[in-house]
Structure 1
């Protein structure tokens, strides 16, 4: 199972982003619960966010297409796939 960096870039004013933040967080929750999403947070300066995810690429792309930010057209994802070969003890379960 490969890993992905999901790089979210805002396309709208942060006020529009903030209005959708509760829906975005609700969108994240089930993907954390099923183990697809591992870590996420906003960029500094606040121009978007990052998510570390794992799974099959087609599933990851389908998931990000359902993000309320994507649906509303206020943000866009760049999906970068990578094969983790080295990790600290906390993330060793991700390596091949």
Structure 2
């Protein structure tokens, strides 16, 4: 699994202008089963995405597709981790076989 920490480098007006395209990008990768959680940080200086079931090189290519990345509006830190414990009632995403 990966935690993708976005830090905005553009002005919030620029972020807002690209937000619809960013949300469509998120939806595409939620539908593909790559993203499992996402949302803005508080205060609103970036966002966090959790991704699963994918190899790092493919994830890097997916992150490069983000409109925020393409417009130079965000910096991305990607942290890989192995989820070994969850709160009751939560399930780990199934590993992808197509990596």
TM-score, normalised with respect to structure 1? 0.90
**Aligned partner of 1:40 among 2, 14, 38:** 38
Higher strand fraction (1 or 2): 1
**1:9 equivalent in alignment to 2:7:** yes
Structure 2 gaps of 5+ residues are: none
Give CA deviations for 1:1-21 in whole Å, capped at 9, x if unaligned. xx0000000001100000000
Match of residue 47 from structure 2: 49
Higher helix fraction (1 or 2): 1
> How far apart, in 2, do the equivalents of 1:47 and 1:71 lie?
18
Q: Give every structure 1 segment of 4 or more consecutive aligned residues whose post-TM-superposition deviation is greater than 4 Å.
A: none
Aligned length: 94
Alpha-carbon shift at residue 94 of structure 1 (Å): 3.9
> How far apart, in 2, do the equivalents of 1:34 and 1:26 lie?
12
Structure 1 gaps of 5+ residues are: none
The Cα RMSD (Å) is: 1.6
> How far apart, in 2, do the equivalents of 1:95 and 1:38 lie?
11
